[in-house]
Amino acid sequence: MKALQLDIDGRPALKSLPCPEPGPGETLLRVSHCAICRTDAKMSLAGHRDLSLPRVPGHEIVGKDETDGSFYLVWPGHACEACEPCRSGRENLCDRMRILGFHRDGGFAQWVTVPKASLIPVSPGLPGRIACLTEPLACTLNALELSGLSAGQRVLIFGAGPVGLMMALSAHSLGALVHIVECDSLKLELSGRFREAVGVEASTGCPDEPYHVAVNAAPSPVTLQQGISRLKPGGLFCLFSGFIGDFSIPGALLNELHYRQLRVAGAYGCTRKNMMQALSLLADHARIAELLIEEVIGLEESVDAMDRMLSARTMKFVIEF
């Protein structure tokens, strides 16, 4: 089968690989669409905590089970179902988690094997290029659920890239008042049609108004200080995007948490429940979601697309098989 594989040094290359064989409790899917996450592009250069090499990346997958003709969305985790997080419905925090595209081969290939427990049926009316956006959207829903965001509250989102815009769509669907901060004026311009369609405000600097929740959908540590400074008493900063490099936290910033009873919560990945919520949200807003797609490409164009994504000035690329 045709595939894009990161070699032992992390370099991406198009290859012909053997078609995988499903093991017990697994299904073989013919991949129809797989979106490229910016993490896929970054880890080819810098690696990732969960990545083992060589590896076929890709975790935003829609595929077809050729045995019955059904299309499925893939929750990219393979959870043990037995540890405390799994038993409490937090399978994204599984003690023995294995992730498609990181620990095992993912969707940048014509075929992929998937645990049957990770399959979510896709309605025939929803195009695969839209359905494969479900996983990143589900991650934003997980973050907002952890933040306790509710209708009528104000949320400040740092970053107008694809995930920041998905965060805005999720927050808007909850009835929250959304403002996006993006220091790159070009990215603000590129996101204009989407923001107008959803109905969210944006600026290059932080507004003076206080917010119930602030979320970083950008890796700059500056967002931590700016976000905390804009929170209402008792507000919450959600650490959604991992930071780049080491940095120190000023004592005065920690005192802000103390005196105003602010909270900081991390958010990572998503649950199956989040995936089903996100799939429903995409079905309701398919035309808006279309604006998140930069281009639908063939596998042969994926290496170039990953390079372009490193600029952080593009929307989503979707590989179509």
Output Rg (C-alpha) for the chain, integer angstroms.
19
Q: What phi and psi values does residue 119 have, to the nearest 5 degrees? A: -85, 135
Helix 222-229 vs helix 251-259: angle between axes, to the nearest 10 degrees? 30
Query: Domain boundary at 230, 249, 266, which?
Result: 266
Query: Exposure string (b/e) for 184-218, b if CB count within 10 Å is 16 or more?
Result: beebbebbeebbeebebebeeebeeeebbbbbbbb
Strands 177-181, 154-158: pairing is parallel
CATH of the domain at 127: 3.90.180.10
Tell whether 286 is covered by a domain: no
* Alpha-carbon gap, residue 38 to 180, rounded angstroms: 19
241 and 302 assigned to the same domain: no
Q: State residue 124's pLDDT score.
A: 87
Give the mean pLDDT of 227-251: 94
* Alpha-carbon gap, residue 318 to 108, rounded angstroms: 10
147 and 201 assigned to the same domain: yes
Tens-place pLDDT, residues 257-310: 999 999 999 999 999 999 999 999 999 999 999 999 999 999 999 999 999 998
Query: What global pTM score does this model have?
Result: 0.96
Tell whether 26 is covered by a domain: yes
The pLDDT confidence band at residue 74, using thresholds 50, 70 and 90, is very high
10 and 116 assigned to the same domain: yes
38 and 55 assigned to the same domain: yes
101 and 152 assigned to the same domain: no
Tell whether 260 is covered by a domain: yes
Q: State residue 123's pLDDT score.
A: 87
Residue 147 is given by DSSP the state H
CATH of the domain at 246: 3.40.50.720
In angstroms, the Cα distances linking 257 to 66, 194, 300 are 54, 34, 49
* Alpha-carbon gap, residue 102 to 55, rounded angstroms: 7
128 and 141 assigned to the same domain: no
Residue 176 amino acid letter: A
pLDDT reading at 12 higher than 80: yes
Domain of residue 214, residue span: 137-266
201 and 243 assigned to the same domain: yes
pLDDT reading at 241 higher than 80: yes
Tell whether 237 is covered by a domain: yes
47 and 92 assigned to the same domain: yes
Report, in this order, helix, strand and coil percent for the chain, each rounded to 5. 35, 30, 40
Q: State residue 311's pLDDT score.
A: 84
The total number of structural domains in the chain stands at: 2
* Residues in the chain, total: 321
Give the mean pLDDT of 142-167: 98
Q: What is the widest separation between alpha-carbon atoms in the chain?
A: 60
165 and 191 assigned to the same domain: yes
Give the mean pLDDT of 143-166: 98
The pLDDT confidence band at residue 50, using thresholds 50, 70 and 90, is confident
121 and 150 assigned to the same domain: no
Residue 238 is given by DSSP the state E
Tell whether 228 is covered by a domain: yes
* Alpha-carbon gap, residue 175 to 154, rounded angstroms: 9
147 and 122 assigned to the same domain: no
Peptide bond into 124 cis (omega under 30): no
Q: Give residues with Cβ within 8 angstroms of 112, minimum separation 6.
A: 20, 28, 29, 31, 56, 58, 61, 63, 74, 100, 105, 106
Residue 263 amino acid letter: R
* Alpha-carbon gap, residue 249 to 218, rounded angstroms: 17
Give me 241's structure tokens.
């995007």
